[in-house]
Amino acid sequence: MSEKRLLLGDEAVALGALYAGLSGVYAYPGTPSTEITEYIQQSPLARERGVRSRWCTNEKTAMEAALGMSYAGKRALVCMKHVGMNVCADAFVNAAITGVKGGLVVLAADDPSMHSSQNEQDSRFYGKFAMVPIFEPSSQQEAFEMVGDAFRLSEALRLPVLMRLVTRLAHSRAAVQIGEPQAQNGLAPDDERGRWVLLPGIAKRQYASLIAKQEEIQAGAEASVYNRLEIPGQARDDEKGAGQDDKLGVIAVGIGYNYVRESLPAGVSVLKVSLYPIPAKQVRELAAHCSRVLVVEDGQPFVEEQVKGLLGPDYPVRGRFSGELPRTGELTPDCVAAALGVALPTPHERAHNLAARPPQLCQGCGHRDVYTALNRVAAEFPGARIFGDIGCYTLGALPPFQAIDSCVDMGASITMAKGAADAGLRPAIAVIGDSTFTHSGMTGLLDAVNDHSAITVIISDNLTTAMTGGQDSAGTHKFEAICLALGVERDHLHVVVPLPANMEEITRILREEIAYEGVSVIIPQRECMQTLGRKLRQKKQQ
């Protein structure tokens, strides 16, 4: 039986993994990767097969648990947004040293143009760093098929493999032809301690073995259907002739292939790349047919740099480094057409009566009351600094609140406030969400407690992971217990309800705790308006 389904790129990955016999998905929500895990959580097939899919506390716990499932012989998928790779890098890189048993696919969804992110780092560098194969689909259909191939390659090489998506594929929908689901692996734990106990003696041997596999990995990429040289018949004939004319060849990487095909001039040769390491053989073949090469890749100039190295300093290689394509931001059909020398019409100028419309905190959101209180109290302390964190409440940086002084990475509010307090800054206030706190805030709070740092921590608890659409938050109903267990003093731990009616109480507590020369934690606790509304609607429907 074969059928077609309309799927987001994320959903195609999820379904591809389920059809490849997945036994567990491990993930922390992060745009644009969230829908992969959500799809598996809602899939009848996953339920029937008992596929493990609950949200993890962060990307590192996700990666390690997935490695454990692989160790036990089953296929596991780890999903995250690109910056999640920073969080789990320790486990990821070392999983390439131990190797795997059941197939282990690590999916990183990059966000070039930073639609919902603080940087546009390119996860392919992590794959190269760990010396593992990297898959990068160009379409939803390819994404679906590729996951199965990624699991098979992972088991054949006994290595984790990386799969990279970008926002435009993750969040774009198209029809996907699907086949029959294959069976899951049975329980078959590995028994080679000589691979898994990374004492230096063993690690040295394992590292040497990883390096020894590189030749096979390279040959596999060059033989793969995912890397395809498309030389038009005409171009081949021309090449046999003069061969001296200016002739363009394009290396079209991942989703870049679509933009190239959108406006490809006749006679141009294309090397489609969707599996790394880059197929050096085909790159040389393309270069031999052409007189210059344009590299079209989303993200950082990862391929362009390597192709330059392959073809030497005299061969013209163009792309994001050389300025033919913009150095930052996602690819568009427009910038790729321009790089190909194809002019697109722009019949209408930008409109005049236009204003930016930035996102904002929802009406009635508890974070609003938190910032109202903080702004009121902070105004009384000219030296006050408010260290923010990652989540909906980062929008407190924008008008009307303009309340926070920093937002760097998951958990940095508490630790930056601590460092600033150590330096003598008063008052140092941290604002962190409930899910971000359990993701990466707890260890920082322990540091602050042990150092008796003078910080005031606001854990703005809306009982969900709101920014990504309301996923379960790992610490719900446990925050007081966690803070007490980490050593926060009972007298300096407060739970309040962020509502305009409670403003007097909240501002009074803030003032008192700011005056305290030690760690205080205030937990404003009220459910997210979005998840609350959804629950009420569901109730009504029933």
Partner 1 sequence: MSKIDIKLCGVGGQGILSIATVLGEAATAAGLQLKQAEVHGMSQRGGDVQSDLRLSTDAIWSDLIPLGGADLIISMEPMEALRYLPYLAPDGAIVTSGKPFVNIPNYPDEAALFAELDALPHVVRLDIEAVARDSGLPKSANMVLLGMAAPYIGLLPEESLRGAIARVFSRKGEAVVEANLKAFALGLEHSKQVSK
Q: Which residues bind partner 1 (CB under 8 A)?
A: 4, 6, 8, 31-32, 34-35, 115-116, 168-169, 171-175, 255, 258-259, 261-263, 332-334, 337, 344-362, 392, 395, 399, 467-469, 541
**345 or 382: whose CB is closer to partner 1?**
345
Cβ at position 89, least distance to partner 1 in Å: 23
Any residues with CB less than 8 A from the CB of 489 and at least 6 apart, and which?
518, 519
Cβ at position 98, least distance to partner 1 in Å: 34
Q: Which two tokens stand for residue 27?
A: 């993930």
- Residue 371: C-alpha distances to residues 366, 392, 398, 475, 502 (Å): 9, 12, 11, 22, 13
Strand partners, 431: 458
Contact 517, 489 (CB under 8 A): no
**240 or 348: whose CB is closer to partner 1?**
348
**390 or 431: whose CB is closer to partner 1?**
390
Q: Which ranges of 396-492 does DSSP label H, i.e. alpha helix?
A: 412-422, 434-436, 442-451, 479-486
Cβ at position 359, least distance to partner 1 in Å: 3
Cβ at position 401, least distance to partner 1 in Å: 14
Cβ at position 442, least distance to partner 1 in Å: 25
DSSP 40-103: HHH-HHHHHHT-B-PPPSSHHHHHHHHHHHHHTT-EEEEEEETTHHHHHHHHHHHHHHH--SS-
Strand partners, 371: none
**67 or 392: whose CB is closer to partner 1?**
392
Q: Minimal CA–CA distance to 310: which of 290, 288, 283, 285? A: 283
Cβ at position 175, least distance to partner 1 in Å: 6
Contact 413, 389 (CB under 8 A): yes
Q: What is the Cα 82 distance to its own chain's centre?
A: 3
What is the distance in angstroms between the CA of the first residue and the CA of the last residue of the chain? 34
**128 or 171: whose CB is closer to partner 1?**
171
Phi, psi of 437 (to 5 degrees): -65, -45
Cβ at position 262, least distance to partner 1 in Å: 4
Cβ at position 374, least distance to partner 1 in Å: 20
Half-sphere exposure of residue 463: CA atoms within 13 angstroms, side-chain side: 14
Cβ at position 162, least distance to partner 1 in Å: 22
**246 or 349: whose CB is closer to partner 1?**
349
Q: Minimal CA–CA distance to 56: which of 409, 445, 472, 482? A: 472
**57 or 360: whose CB is closer to partner 1?**
360
CA dihedral in degrees (114, 119, 125, 129; nearest 10)? -150
**Polymer length of the chain:** 542
Q: Which two tokens stand for residue 404?
A: 């926070």
**337 or 430: whose CB is closer to partner 1?**
337
Cβ at position 371, least distance to partner 1 in Å: 15
Contact 490, 484 (CB under 8 A): yes
Cβ at position 355, least distance to partner 1 in Å: 5
Cβ at position 212, least distance to partner 1 in Å: 40
**133 or 470: whose CB is closer to partner 1?**
470
**166 or 454: whose CB is closer to partner 1?**
166
Question: In the block, which residue shows the tokens 């998905």?
Answer: 25
**32 or 133: whose CB is closer to partner 1?**
32
Strand partners, 495: 523
Measured between alpha carbons, how far is 174 from 387 in angstroms, rounded to an integer? Answer: 41
**30 or 301: whose CB is closer to partner 1?**
30
Q: Given the DSSP bridges, would you call strands 269-273 and 227-230 parallel, antiparallel or unpaired?
A: antiparallel
